[in-house]
Amino acid sequence: DTEVTQTPKHLVMGMTNKKSLKCEQHMGHRAMYWYKQKAKKPPELMFVYSYEKLSINESVPSRFSPECPNSSLLNLHLHALQPEDSALYLCASSQDNNWEGTEAFFGQGTRLTVV
Amino acid sequence: DQQVKQNSPSLSVQEGRISILNCDYTNSMFDYFLWYKKYPAEGPTFLISISSIKDKNEDGRFTVFLNKSAKHLSLHIVPSQPGDSAVYFCAASEVAGNTPLVFGKGTRLSVIA
């Protein structure tokens, strides 16, 4: 199994809603990442989890709250989002945070629309 | 089978000289190519991209060249600086923003002062 699975694939939410994005991998990877990608732009790093601990937060607003319940799962909790937060949210994983000599895998993403 | 290949695991370059990092891909459907840079214990951060309609894209000291017929792209850093020492990852996707990125295994660049 060399997949990173993200659910849901599409999500439409209102600005007062609370929702969660989920990411799962069963490759034994110990580093997981959230990226945000706007249309026709490259993915931008949001958070890095290494061995289930948050190691990097790229100055992301607190309305995005990551959670890593175990080594296979990564969640992104969303609350009080703005329309400009609409984007493709990508999860990725790698064997560890060093990456070298190992492959990294991205999920298909969740396309989020905030209305 | 790896779709994105970086065949040089490491590269050492003198400060001030040109660094050239290479990347080959096998999937002819790839349409969007990126380079990411990674410092130890940090996440990869975006450096520069190119779409298949171009063969060159420049951003300051960084230039990416794309040769679609050869399925090859390269990143040139001129002049190289010690702060450029990092691992550089080539990535590709079929449609920008709509399909997953496929990463190469990376090339560690060491710029020697």
Tell me, what's the pLDDT at B108? 92
pLDDT above 50 for A39: yes
Tokens of A87: 């984007």
| Residue A48: closest C-alpha in chain B | B43
Tokens of B81: 């600086």
Distance, in Å, from the CA atom of B35 to the CA atom of B44, rounded to the nearest integer, reads: 9
Average pLDDT of the segment spanning A50-72 = 91
> Within an 8 Å CB–CB cutoff, is residue B92 touching chain A?
no
Task: Report whether B84 contacts B75 (CB < 8 A).
Answer: no
Segment A80-91, tens digit of pLDDT: 999 999 998 989
Segment B27-84, tens digit of pLDDT: 999 988 999 988 876 667 789 999 889 999 999 999 999 999 999 999 999 999 999 9
Report in angstroms the alpha-carbon separations of B74 from A12, A54, A82, B6, B55: 39, 33, 38, 10, 10
pLDDT above 80 for A26: yes
> Within an 8 Å CB–CB cutoff, is residue B110 touching chain A?
no
Chain B hits for A56, Cβ within 8 Å: 42-43
Three-state DSSP class for residue A84: helix
Neighbour-count burial of B32, counting CB atoms closer than 10 A to its CB (0-12 exposed, 13-18 middle, 19+ buried): buried
Selected residue of A40, A47, A50, A55 to mutate for chain B interface (largest B Cβ count, 10 A): A40
Cβ separation of A103 and B105 shorter than 8 Å?
A: yes
Tell me, what's the pLDDT at B100? 67
Quick one: pLDDT band at residue A41, thresholds 50, 70, 90?
A: confident
Quick one: pLDDT band at residue A73, thresholds 50, 70, 90?
A: very high
| Residue A105: closest C-alpha in chain B | B102
Phi, psi (rounded to 5 degrees) for A30 = -110, 0
Quick one: pLDDT band at residue A3, thresholds 50, 70, 90?
A: confident
Tokens of A61: 């607003």
Average pLDDT of the segment spanning A51-75 = 92
**Residue A25 one-letter amino acid:** Q
Nearest to A55 among B41, B99, B105 (CB): B41
Tell me, what's the pLDDT at B71? 96
How far is CA A88 from its chain centroid? 10
